[in-house]
Amino acid sequence: MRMRINIDRLKSDLEALSLIGRTPEGGVSRPSFSQADMEARQWFIQKLKEADLAVTVDAAGNIFGRLDGKGPAVISGSHLDTIIDGGFYDGAAGVLSALECINTIKEKRIKVKAHLEVVSFADEEEWFYGFLGSDALTGRLKIAALDKVHDRNGQSLATAMRKAGLDLALIDQAQRPKNDIKAFVELHIEQGPLMEQSGDAIGVVENVKGDYRYGITFKGQRNHAGSPMPGRRDPMPAAMRLINYMYAQLDAIESPDVLLTVGAIQADPSLETVIPASVYFSIDFRAPVKDILLKLSDSLHHEAKRLGQVSGLELTMEPLMIIDPVLFDDSVLEAIRQAANGLDLKWRHISSGAGHDGQVLGRYVPSAMIFVPSQGGRSHCPEEHTTIAHIEAGANVLLHTLIKLANR
């Protein structure tokens, strides 16, 4: 008989966590270091204690539960923080599935050689600083820049961490040596429609697309909407032309693996009868190949500069995120494939368009990810849903993957 996790316990944990930060719209809001996030963190720590695991919280606020073994640790997990009015499974499914796997290993007295750890990373969802916890663990943080980081309400990261009993000045102490980690595996919902469309239960994630994101501002001259068209210094046409230009560049590439999103547009002032003084917008493009990201970035900079000059506008362009594509470790991927095959589960190779803690760890230690389907491809919304059967399948693959990795 093939070994299985306790799906009833995992389902109960997912349901209990989903109540923390529940919104009237039916989603969940647990921004990092918020009251709801702190409640979720305390709930999770209690679950680790109930599992009789050694609990630690590092200087970045990452929470670990360890089952002792020998040598470097095999780590699995994700994050408990969410966007505003997000879904129940993004991040949470990975953390609680990892905990369930360790609980199963303990209860069934399965012998594993390496330390096994479950982790919940801090601030994956960019409330303050995206991938704060995983960047800190891998030593990628630029400490000096963190003093200026605030959330959208104006609260500084330093203040939020202090309220949580943490000290921003000590955050670099969260880094762990590479030789302390044998492998990292993250289970996550797909956040896309491909697996549901293909009917696959398991996604073996080969890579995470790189993400180049910019904030662009064209500044002109505020004036009345009744002023003549000639002589206006209106930043809106330049913004629209640049956005259309970039979508045309995307169309020319003709690849479904290359993504572009304009996620924010803000006119200042935002009034029906006023030519705005400035227009801000964000452009996010993602691709599995770095050369494509560099080409799009060059096109963006060149055309933005040209439009600013011909329109008589002041241009400001700020890189918000520059993350190169990550290829996952072949040996960890093979362990996932073997686990899925051993459980007779249909699987496929897949690329992730969404960013994850796994991509940060993937630059540092042998890592890979397991995807389970998202119903309707929906995520980051109250409608986000993954069936319990798919979560069970993913958790069982994770269980056998962790055992294989820990006993190598």
Residue pLDDT, tens place only, 206-228: 999 999 999 999 999 999 999 99
Put residue 326 in one of left, alpha, beta given phi > 0 → left and psi -120 to 50 → alpha.
beta
**pTM across the whole model:** 0.91
Give 374's DSSP letter: -
Question: Helices marked H in 216-371 — which ranges?
Answer: 235-253, 290-311, 330-342, 357-362
Q: What is the mean pLDDT of the chain?
A: 97
pLDDT at 88: 97
CATH number given to 7-208+326-406: 3.40.630.10
CATH 3.30.70.360, the chain: domain bounds: 210-323
Rounded CA-CA distance 191/194 in Å is 9
Rounded CA-CA distance 332/369 in Å is 9
What token pair was written down for 273? 């009868």
Q: Which CATH architecture best describes the domain 210-323? A: 2-Layer Sandwich (3.30)
pLDDT at 62: 98
Q: b/e map of 28-56 (b: 16 or more CB within 10 Å)?
A: bbbbbbbebbbebbeebbebbeebebeee
Put residue 44 in one of left, alpha, beta given phi > 0 → left and psi -120 to 50 → alpha.
alpha
What token pair was written down for 382? 């109250």
CATH 3.40.630.10, the chain: domain bounds: 7-208+326-406
Is 393:210 a contact under the CB 8 Å cutoff? no
pLDDT in tens, 38-80: 999 999 999 999 999 999 999 999 999 999 999 999 999 999 9
pLDDT at 107: 96
pLDDT at 207: 95
pLDDT at 143: 82
Is 337:343 a contact under the CB 8 Å cutoff? no
pLDDT in tens, 383-402: 999 999 999 999 999 999 99
Q: What is the pLDDT along the chain (408 residues), one digit of tens a residue?
A: 479 999 999 999 999 999 999 999 999 999 999 999 999 999 999 999 999 999 999 999 999 999 999 999 999 999 999 999 999 999 999 999 999 999 999 999 999 999 999 999 999 999 999 999 999 999 999 888 898 999 999 999 999 999 999 999 999 999 999 999 999 999 999 999 999 999 999 999 999 999 999 999 999 999 999 999 999 999 999 999 999 999 999 999 999 999 999 999 999 999 999 999 999 999 999 999 999 999 999 999 999 999 999 999 999 999 998 999 999 999 999 999 999 999 999 999 999 999 999 999 999 999 999 999 999 999 999 999 999 999 999 999 999 999 999 999
What token pair was written down for 59? 């200087």
